[in-house]
Each structure stands twice: as C-alpha cells, then as structure tokens.
Structure 1
Amino acid sequence: MTERQRRVWDRSAPRYDRQIALLERTWFAGGREWLGSRARGRVLEVAVGTGLQLPYYRDDVTVTGVDLSPEMLAVARGRAGEGVTLREGDAERLPFGDEEFDTVVCALGLCTIPDPVAAIGEMRRVLVPGGRLLLLDHVVSTWPPVRACQWLLERLTVPMAGEHFTRRQLPLVRQAGFDLEEAERLKAGTVERVAARKAVLGSGP
C-alpha cells in the first residue's frame, strides 16, 4: 500500500497545485492561516506535500516537513525558506524520536493516509508532553444528502488515489488520548479544524 500511495502522489506532484487551487480558495479558505497562527516552536508537518502550508507559519518557528512522495517534496523545496527541513518518510512510521516536536500539523493529509489511527499515534509519540496537534481536513458531512454524495465519490477516489471523504479524524484524536482544545466544522460539516494537546503525565490518558 505504501508503494502504491507513493506512486500515486509522485504522478500527481507536477499538477497538484493547479488542481487544488480553486478548492484552497473556496472549500478550505482560511484553514491554512488557522493552522499557521497556532503552530509554535519546533513544528513537524506530516504529509507536507508540495509545501502549500509553508508560507503560513510564523517566522519564529522551525519547520520539519515529511512526506511519502519524493516528487511532492521536490516541489515543496521551491517554497522552503530558512528554518525549513524536508525529508522523505511514512506518516505511519515517522522517522523521528519520541518527544521531538512542540507542534504537529497535518493539513489535508489524513484523508489519504491508509491507517489514520497509526498516523495519529505516531503524531502523539513525537510530540512533547503538552505539545499541540493541529489538523485540517475534509470529513464526512453532517448533511445526509452530502454524505451520500461523498460515499458515491469514494467509489472512485479510494481505488484511484486512496482518498476518503467519509472519514472523521476527531474521534481518533480523542481515542489517542489527546485533550481537545478547539474543533470547528464548516461547509455543511465537510471541513474540520482540530486543535488538541498531548496530555501531560498525570493529567490525562
């Protein structure tokens, strides 16, 4: 599955920014600013892709971006300024030690990661106690007619690109033992922003 996902995103890399541009301006509007304003300290961005999130981070953070696709990373390097490190890696087996980062960000990535439970577990592992998890993604709608359309769309997108529209990450974040700080659903409930903290020892799971 990992190799298949890598091939899919390697092929998509040259045209990805053009394909998602309209959705970035409409469906996900404001989401990247929301993530960037909340990221602090040593930031790990999982599934950094072509680096669309990179311009939105504050100047006083250091950013490490990890992605499965070398071709997506090649595009991201064109956006990476000082304080940004990019490396190849699998979200389900992050190539970092325990408690290395103050913030973990994942923007529009968990919808395509084959095992989101494993990925969120890895995000928790690499966060310091009290570290912040920030997520932006498209999720299953709160409106039944939209949910039905999402289910139908998945009949194409899951086999072709492993992209899911009927997932929701918030229950997995809670299941992983994070303390929820903020959660916001937009666009008929199809877009969700989540901010949560890794519990400090003795204060939670």
Structure 2
Amino acid sequence: MGESARAVEARRIWDRVAPTYDRRMAFLERHMFGDGRVWLAGRARGRVLDVGVGTGGNLAHYPDDVTVTGLDLSPAMLALVRRRAADLGRTVDLHEGDAERLPFADGSFDTVVCALALCTVPDPAAAIAEARRVLVPGGRLLLLDHVVSTWPPIHWFQWVFERFTIPAAGEHFTRRQVPLVRAAGFTIVATRRTRAGTVECVDAVRPADPGTPGR
C-alpha cells in the first residue's frame, strides 16, 4: 500500500520545522510539559518503541537497561535524533515511518512511548491500535500530550486556536487520548493531568489475549 498524501504533507511540514523545533519548544517543555517526559520514560521497560520520536527529547530520560527504537515521518527529525543519541552515548535504532502503519511485526516491543505526537496524527485511534498490535501481552503504552482542557474558557480558546493550527500543521488541541486507549482494549494503570487539564500523561497495559499463557 502506497504512502498517503497526508503522510507526505506531514513529512514536508516536520522536515521544515526540524532545525528550529527544540528552540521553539524550549519554553513549553519547561513551563507547560514540565517533568512529563521524565514521568513517561521512567516507566519504560525492555524493548521500547518511541513513536514520533521527534528530535529525541525522551532519550536522556530512559533507564539505561532498555533498548530504544525510534520512528518518525521526518528524515530531518531523525538526523537530529542521531546527533542527540551520539551526544548521550546511547544506541538507538531509527526508522522512517508512519504511526498509523508501523513497520514492525506483532508483539515486537515491551513498551510503546508516544510523546507530543498523537496531537498531529490524522487518525490517533489507528495509531493506538497499531501500538497495541506491536506490543507483547502485558506491554505498556505510555503517552504524553496536550489535550482538551477541563476548564471551559480554555477549551473555547483551544477550539479557536485549532482553526489555524489544523490547516497549517495538522495539530489538534481538543482531543483526548484516554477514551481511545480504553476503546483499543488497554487497561489504564495511571493518568496524570496538569495545567488546567491541558496536559495529560497516560500509563496503560495491553492485557493478555484470551487463552494466552501468562508471561
């Protein structure tokens, strides 16, 4: 199956913003998302797939004993991950690909991490279903993203902001991933919501399939 036009356009956008991404995100990383990446990466175990790895912002926070595979649509982003991994002395297996169509076999990973990426995936339910597919039974799905606020005035502002961000970069602010995670068959272990509900971390487990022996 050929690549979708949406994926081609997304690659063009992220290749363009890659050189300035970390600088532009620095304030938000520090003051909005805070220790979200630490919360997320610290829960990773075993074979880790980092979906939408971006510039590699999670790499410094993973435990030393995990193996990391990174996936992103953007070759320019992946080039920055390689540089960051080298600076950290960390080995990362990098792949160019789409979160909605992961190029990995069923049950390939113990943990799937997705930080600040589902907000731009056209079909987040498909991406979560793919994460479930590549996880072993008992594997963890770990998410961090900006989501729809619990405070109506901010929710309204997010909706207005989307009128510009969705056409420009496919970025959504009024989504929430927890219902999609539950619908995909995961069991929610823990969630954390901050900044008037606009930032949410999710830790979920893929249950064993019926009739599957325990790990």
Q: TM > 0.5 between the two?
A: yes
Q: Is 1:56 aligned to 2:61, yes or no?
A: yes
Match of 2:95 among 87, 90, 95: 87
Matches within 5 A, 1:47-126: 47-80=52-85, 81-126=89-134
CA distance in 1, matches of 2:91, 2:138: 23
Tell me what 1:155 maps to: 163
Aligned residues: 204
Q: Any conservation in 2 of the 1:108–1:138 contact (CA below 8 Å)?
A: yes
- SS of the equivalent of 2:33 reads coil
CA distance in 2, matches of 1:88, 1:176: 25
Distance apart, 1:202 and its partner CA = 2.8
Match of 1:170 among 154, 169, 178: 178
Tell me what 1:21 maps to: 26
Given the two structures, how large is their TM-score scaled by the length of structure 1? 0.97
Given the two structures, how large is their TM-score scaled by the length of structure 2? 0.93
Q: Is 1:45 aligned to 2:50, yes or no?
A: yes
Tell me what 2:3 maps to: none
Amino acid at match of 1:134: L
3-12 or 74-83: which moved more? 74-83
The answer for unaligned runs of 5 or more in structure 1 is: none
Amino acid at match of 2:27: L
Amino acid at match of 1:190: T
The answer for unaligned runs of 5 or more in structure 2 is: 1-5
Shift >4 Å, 4+ stretches: none
CA distance in 2, matches of 1:183, 1:101: 22
CA distance in 2, matches of 1:54, 1:174: 27
79-88 or 151-160: which moved more? 79-88
CA distance in 2, matches of 1:197, 1:36: 15
CA distance in 2, matches of 1:50, 1:5: 15
CA distance in 1, matches of 2:200, 2:41: 15
Amino acid at match of 1:63: V
Match of 1:189 among 186, 197, 200: 197
Q: Any conservation in 2 of the 1:61–1:83 contact (CA below 8 Å)?
A: no
Structure 1, residues 20-56: CA drift from partner, whole Å, max 9, x if none? 0000001000101101110000000000011111111
Amino acid at match of 1:23: L
Amino acid at match of 2:92: V
Q: CA RMSD in A?
A: 1.2
